Amino acid sequence: MQKPILNPEIQEIIEQTNPKLEMEVFESNEYAVEEKNLLKEDDLKRAEDRIKGFIQEKLYADDSIRLIDLSAYLGISLHQASFYLNNYKNIGFSDFINQNRINDAIRLLVEKRNMNLLDIAFECGFNSYTSFHRACKKWTGYSPKGLRINTFLTNGSKNEHLNIPINSQKVEALSNNFKSNG
């Protein structure tokens, strides 16, 4: 006869303390925790509808935005908001925010060619050039300056404004890389 893997009293305490988790106990005494779906169908639909508004209203550009702010906007709990991003959007909160900020920065680089990179960073919600640089590299593969050059070249601007030699094969490669990362 095998001895019990988990003391029944401990198992009962775990179940009472955290009813939203199902615990599977294996004979090797390892625990696998599986999250239940924390969103009901109406909560999910509301989150899907409101996340679009969150992006359209550019609420990600607030440099002090927190997950609790997003959850309040979506009308769901903090845990549900985190669950929604991680399980339905396959992205964590900070990556979700920074990805939207970078998309906005790319738009500004195209629309406002003379705008200072630091001003673009602040307008998009980054609180420093360093955080802007880090996010640019992560999401596009380019530094902010490299991204500016790439957007300048890939949007049909005149090359005479650039002080760099233009290699059409390199420009095409940069453009293709940018499109595949976008």
Domain ranges in the chain are: 1-36, 41-90, 96-181
pTM for this model (two decimals): 0.65
Task: Report d(CA 12, CA 70) in Å as an integer.
Answer: 34
C-alpha atoms less than 13 angstroms from C-alpha of 17 in its C-beta half-sphere: 7
pLDDT at 115: 93
Summarize the confidence of residues 163-173 as an average pLDDT: 41
Summarize the confidence of residues 150-176 as an average pLDDT: 50
Over the stretch 94-140, which tens digit does the pLDDT of each residue have? Answer: 999 999 999 999 999 999 989 999 999 999 999 999 999 999 999 99
Alpha-carbon distances of 52 from 21, 33, 75, 100, rounded to whole Å: 30, 31, 13, 11
pLDDT at 8: 61
Q: Which two tokens stand for residue 127?
A: 């609180």
- Who's near 150: CB < 8 A, 6+ residues apart? 140, 142, 174, 175, 178
Window from 9-18, 83-92, 157-166 with minimum mean pLDDT: 157-166
Query: Which class for 158: exposed (0-12), middle (13-18), buried (19 or more C-beta within 10 A)?
Result: exposed
Task: Report d(CA 66, CA 94) in Å as an integer.
Answer: 9
What residue type is 170 in one-letter code? K
